């Protein structure tokens, strides 16, 4: 077992969750999507004595219209749900635009909106987006109920104003002003990789076409996503000409940011990226504001969607922790009943408890994709989910994709196009691609490449795999 032992609590209501965190205090960590916390636990960088799993708290999963014309997002809403929600597209299109940049569909299918914000990772996308959109954060505990602004909520790298007994319950994004435009631009080494720099911009124009609002915030530039105040100041009251935008980008790069250096980029390179990406983002945002934006501007992501919250018919435990939890889970159509220690990963459960060794394990921190399985029909990383969380859910592994007599069209195409290069990564590719082709039966080559960008081929290359996906798509349409 990779993570250190911990007590596990799975409250079913917010009141129970408040009770859990109040009792456990600093010894507990809240478990949302687990896409940042579980990798840290797998490496034993984090060893919380207890986890309070919010995945059964149905009250925290929603996207709602706010009466002021904005939108409110429940903390546990999966990023893939936010990505595809029509209300988000209409009322907070910057959020929809940034979502496809957050890792890969497998991570977004589990990761949550509130978890990304509460994690306060300087390289996280959503803190910067929430700052650009002037978001507010609803924080609650057994005793307290408060709303914070970004400058109050984000305290430092991986640090927020949340007290140990408090939960982030929702994030409110205000309405966009009339004649608004928005844009997100980033530089990263590959699709889904951490942004070396990301720039988010929201601008609006008055009736004479002059800038009356500019909010700009960055990913991976500082400890917290500070808005670019000097850049905004240079734009206010100005007609957004090329020169005015250039001046704002210069102010951003020289006065607003003080980027650090790491293995991904030097400080100078980051400053250069701030200048370039700010110019690009502001140019696009003002163009959209001038012509009146269309939701068709949004680059829709190629996969994801849907929700996989707990099945209410299978409550597991609300307020007590057990050494081993009885779980009942359907894998490839067969029901399995077992008792599992909470720290057992779903990948290890599938392999060692069920003997289904087609699911492979590579990195165990969400990067390689070999452990991909379907969780209620959606591709997820089984190394970043605990087996106890699969209670009441439907899992599909590569063994359930086809049979020896009747292979899945993807399996046939992989064989026919010589895409089975090493075999180790293949199950992860197949389980990523099966739901992708269901959602997108006629993908472009670019979409196929993006869909598999979260599955690492370390041996030969992607060409045969891409050819196989094209062939499978063609055959599946007949």
Least CB distance from residue 274 to ligand FAD, whole Å? 18
Indicate whether 118 belongs to the interface with ligand FES (CB under 6 A).
Answer: no
Indicate whether 309 belongs to the interface with ligand FAD (CB under 6 A).
Answer: no
Residues 193 to 232 in contact with ligand FAD, rule: CB under 6 A: 194
Site string for ligand FES, 418-457 (x = CB under 6 A): ---xx-xx-------------------------------x
Measured from the Cβ of residue 430, the count of other Cβ atoms closer than 10 Å reads 24
Burial class (CB in 10 A: 0-12, 13-18, 19+), 156: exposed
H or E element, residue 198: strand 195-205
From 36, 109, 280, 283, residue interacting with ligand FAD (rule: CB under 6 A): 36
Number of residues located near ligand FES, criterion CB under 6 A? 20
* 3-class secondary-structure state, position 117: helix
* 3-class secondary-structure state, position 67: coil
CA nearest 260: which of 123, 150, 154, 153?
123
Indicate whether 114 belongs to the interface with ligand FAD (CB under 6 A).
Answer: yes
* 3-class secondary-structure state, position 446: helix
- State which residue, 89 or 421, has the beta carbon closest to ligand FES: 421
CA nearest 386: which of 347, 356, 359?
347
Least CB distance from residue 455 to ligand FAD, whole Å? 12
Sign of the Cα pseudo-torsion (349, 350, 352, 355, in order): positive
- State which residue, 56 or 455, has the beta carbon closest to ligand FES: 455
Contact status, residue 92 vs residue 12, Cβ threshold 8 Å: no
Range in contact with ligand FES (rule: CB under 6 A) among 69-77, 270-278, 389-397, 458-466: 458-466
Cα separation, 374 vs 435, in Å, equals: 8
Residues 16 to 35 in contact with ligand FAD, rule: CB under 6 A: 29-35
Range in contact with ligand FAD (rule: CB under 6 A) among 104-112, 273-281, 301-309, 344-352: 104-112
Task: Record the tokens describing residue 41, joined without a space.
Answer: 């636990």
Cα separation, 326 vs 354, in Å, equals: 15
Q: Strands 180-188 and 211-219, how do they pair?
A: unpaired
Indicate whether 385 belongs to the interface with ligand FAD (CB under 6 A).
Answer: no
Least CB distance from residue 125 to ligand FAD, whole Å? 4
Indicate whether 344 belongs to the interface with ligand FES (CB under 6 A).
Answer: no
Binds 32: which of ligand FAD, ligand FES, none (CB < 5-8 Å by kind): ligand FAD
- State which residue, 228 or 451, has the beta carbon closest to ligand FES: 451
CA nearest 433: which of 410, 399, 457?
410
Least CB distance from residue 188 to ligand FES, whole Å? 18
H or E element, residue 87: helix 86-91
- State which residue, 121 or 297, has the beta carbon closest to ligand FAD: 121
Indicate whether 118 belongs to the interface with ligand FAD (CB under 6 A).
Answer: yes
Cα separation, 302 vs 469, in Å, equals: 14
Indicate whether 95 belongs to the interface with ligand FES (CB under 6 A).
Answer: no
Q: Which residues of 255-282 are buried (b: 16+ CB within 10 A; e: fewer)?
A: ebbebeeeebbeeeebbbbbbbbbbbbb
Residues 355 to 374 in contact with ligand FES, rule: CB under 6 A: 361-364, 366-371
Q: Which residues bind ligand FES (CB under 6 A)?
A: 361-364, 366-371, 381, 383, 421-422, 424-425, 457-460
Q: Which residues bind ligand FAD (CB under 6 A)?
A: 29-37, 39, 75, 102-103, 107, 111-112, 114-116, 118-119, 121, 124-126, 162, 167-168, 194, 366-367
């Amino acid at each position: 077992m990779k993570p250190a032992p911990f007590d596990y609590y799975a409250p079913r209501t917010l009141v129970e969750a408040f009770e859990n965190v109040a009792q456990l205090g600093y010894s507990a960590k809240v478990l949302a999507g687990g896409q940042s916390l579980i990798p840290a636990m797998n490496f034993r960088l984090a060893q919380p004595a207890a986890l309070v799993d919010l995945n059964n708290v149905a009250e925290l999963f929603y996207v709602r219209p706010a009466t002021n014309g904005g939108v409110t997002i429940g903390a546990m809403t999966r990023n893939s749900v936010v990505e595809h929600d029509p209300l988000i597209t209409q009322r907070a299109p910057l959020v929809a635009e940034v979502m496809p940049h957050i890792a890969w569909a497998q991570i977004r299918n589990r990761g949550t909106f509130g978890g990304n914000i509460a994690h306060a990772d300087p390289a996280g996308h959503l803190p910067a987006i929430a700052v650009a959109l002037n978001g507010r954060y609803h924080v609650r505990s057994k005793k307290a109920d408060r709303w914070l602004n970004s400058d109050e909520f984000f305290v430092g790298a991986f640090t927020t104003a949340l007290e140990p007994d408090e939960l982030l319950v929702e994030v409110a994004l205000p309405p966009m002003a009339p004649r608004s435009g928005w844009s997100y631009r980033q530089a990263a080494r590959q699709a889904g990789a951490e942004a070396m720099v990301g720039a988010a911009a929201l601008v609006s124009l008055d009736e004479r076409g002059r800038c009356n609002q500019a909010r700009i915030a960055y990913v991976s530039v500082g400890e917290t996503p500070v808005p670019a105040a000097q850049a905004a100041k240079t734009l206010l009251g100005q007609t957004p000409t090329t020169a005015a935008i250039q001046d704002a980008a210069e102010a951003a790069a020289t006065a607003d940011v003080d980027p650090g250096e790491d293995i991904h980029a030097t400080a100078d390179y980051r400053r250069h990226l701030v200048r370039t990406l700010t110019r690009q983002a502001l140019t696009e945002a003002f163009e959209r504001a001038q012509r009146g934006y269309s939701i068709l501007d949004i680059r829709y992501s190629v996969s994801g969607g849907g929700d996989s919250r707990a099945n209410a018919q299978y409550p597991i435990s609300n307020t007590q922790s057990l050494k081993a939890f009885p779980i009942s889970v359907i894998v490839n159509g067969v029901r399995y009943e077992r008792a599992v220690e909470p720290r057992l990963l779903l990948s290890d459960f599938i392999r060692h408890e069920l003997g289904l060794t087609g699911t492979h394990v590579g990195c165990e921190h969400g990067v390689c994709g070999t452990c991909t399985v379907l969780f209620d029909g959606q591709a997820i990383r089984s190394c970043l989910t605990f087996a106890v969380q699969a209670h009441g859910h439907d899992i599909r592994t590569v063994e359930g994709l086809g049979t020896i007599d009747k292979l899945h069209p993807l399996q046939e195409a992989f064989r026919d196009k010589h895409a089975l290069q090493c075999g180790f990564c293949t199950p992860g590719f197949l389980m990523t691609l099966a739901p992708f082709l269901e959602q997108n039966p006629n993908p472009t080559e670019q979409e196929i490449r993006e869909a598999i960008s979260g599955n690492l081929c370390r041996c030969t290359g992607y060409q045969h795999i891409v050819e196989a996906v094209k062939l499978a798509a063609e055959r599946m349409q007949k």
